[in-house]
Amino acid sequence: MSLRSASALGRHVICRSCESYSTLEKAIYPAVRRNVIRGNSGASLQKRWNSSTSPKPLGERIAEKYNLPIFRVNSDRLQLIEQPSKFYEKLLDIIRNSKKRIFLASLYIGKTEHELISALSSSLKERKELKVTILVDRLRSTREGDYRDGEKSTESCASLLAGLQSQFPNQVEIRAFRAPDLPAWLETLVGKRFVEGWGLQHMKIYGGDDSVMISGANLSNDYFTNRRDRYLFMDDKTVSDYLYELLMTASRYSYSLRATGTPSQHASYQLDWDEGARLDMKIDEQPTGPTGWKRRMGSQVERMTYEWKQRTEAARPTDSDSMDIVPLIQMGPMKVQQETTCVPEVLSYANERPNSQLYFTTGYFSINPQYAEWILKGQFQSEMITASPKANGFYGSKGVSRHLPAAYTWLTNRFWDKLVAKNRQDQVKINEWNKQGWTYHAKGIWFSPKVDSKPTLTLLGSSNFGIRSAKLDLECTFLIDAHRSSKLQTRLQEEIDELKRDAKDQVGQEMFERPERKVHWGVKVAARIIRRML
């Protein structure tokens, strides 16, 4: 691999003035901002937490410490879905049964997902009062460029959604998020695909009326058939309302996609910055332009977090078979850092219990150094699962992207070397997931209080727990405390067992010495340069 190819690999992976606060914000939210948005983990707070005379469950402790909302949901209203096909079936059920609202947030929708669009169209035709809001990433959804009628090469997620919007202009609102502070000249210079590395809308929220799913899966054929991920379905109005408001908040700072062509399966479109005027939400701030809105968006997420904390405190039922859900929003450019503040608390909690067990999985082994350090120095047992090169979504692809599986192999090798240096290789096991004809996209953390016990806590959502998730993308992950629910604990254990069933190849020195695992120096150089975008 030449230096020129290494540079091209870097470019490919790159694909993957502030308003003042209102008087109300100045009066109420400063302390909330210190804890929720910036992540205050100072010694005084840690001391108060550790010295509590009546320790609360971990989910409650984290929510209380960082002023986050906490939702208590009965286990009968929650379902962990095990297969991509079941995820797709549940998604179609939500669409077909919703009467008032459908709200979807994804990186993109596959440009050939006509069955999905047809299901939306049928529901819209049957129910004139139904409103559909879809949030996608602008760069990823317009990668193919402007749509030209009759030219299949120009069909895209955006043109597909424009086709739906053209048929139901008063019922469908399409929003396209574009990373802040991304100059137009950079997009022109490196192209839409490469510039995606500067940040994406990465949340995966799929809701209708009072039901909602949160996942790491996007909406395209491979995620419905042979790409392994995780999926959580909830039939709970309060959680659904919260995620709807989160989606609408992000949509407010996104472009409105409007069809300009005649109604058809795909249509031409334009993208307008409309200040959120077309959204079904109250807009009480002064208008803002398409640049310079980061702080305002962060402030609005902060206010939303504070208000939902108050609401959930006032109405938190006690149920013997329920679980606590703490949403963790991560929007690095807006200084919203709930995930990167709270995940270390989970790892610290595990570290205080040497007999505990931590499971960690990600399809892309580029772990946030903050998390990696806890695993490297921790007293707890760890099992990690990542994609084998053949289960990596870029395996066998054309061009420089074919080198990406090797880049993740190199990052795994570096982590393994650190384990050996700290003599932790017996406490931390890493296995690669591989299943013929499938790719691996699952991500999550599970905590068990004892090595042989079932998990009592998990993190599930869109985050890959890497530097990119922390710094660049919009993410939503649920921290789920299941200490009261034996049903969910059993299901979480089954989920781990299912993932481990196809993760047989153990990472170690022998693996890295195999001829096919040798990584070209050019890949190593490129991966080091663009590490935060992997």
Residues labelled catalytic: 202, 204, 209
Residue 51: both structure tokens together: 């010295």
What is the DSSP pairing of strand 227-228 with strand 439-440? parallel
Q: Is 28 exposed, middle or buried (0-12, 13-18, 19+ CB in 10 A)?
A: middle
Asked whether the beta carbons of 79 and 91 are under 8 A apart, the reply is no
Residue 33: both structure tokens together: 């901002």
Q: Where are the alpha helices (DSSP H) in 378-454?
A: 404-421
Cα end-to-end distance, the chain, whole Å: 19
What is the DSSP pairing of strand 78-81 with strand 211-215? unpaired
Asked whether the beta carbons of 301 and 249 are under 8 A apart, the reply is yes
Q: Any long-range contacts for 443-446 (C-beta under 8 Å, 24+ apart)?
A: 443/216, 443/229, 443/230, 443/361, 443/362, 443/363, 444/230, 444/359, 444/360, 444/361, 445/343, 445/346, 445/358, 445/359, 445/360, 445/361, 446/358, 446/359, 446/360, 446/492, 446/496
Asked whether the beta carbons of 144 and 183 are under 8 A apart, the reply is no
Kindly tell me the number of DSSP H helices and DSSP E strands found in the chain. Answer: 21, 21
List all residues 6 or more positions away from 272 whose beta carbon is below 8 Å from its beta carbon.
255, 256, 258
Q: Report the amino acid identity of residue 144.
A: E
Buried b (16+ CB within 10 A) or exposed e, 499-509: beebbeeebee
SS3 85: helix
Nearest by Cα to 91 from 111, 77, 109:
109
String of DSSP letters for 313-354: HHT----TTEEEEEEEEEEGGGTEEHHHHHHHHHHHHHHT-T
Residue 378: both structure tokens together: 């921790």
Nearest by Cα to 308 from 289, 321, 322, 327:
327
SS3 7: helix
d(CA 364, CA 384): 12
The length of the chain, given as a count of residues:
534
- Which residue has 């086709």 as its token pair? 163
d(CA 321, CA 190): 53
- Residue 19 has what DSSP assignment? P
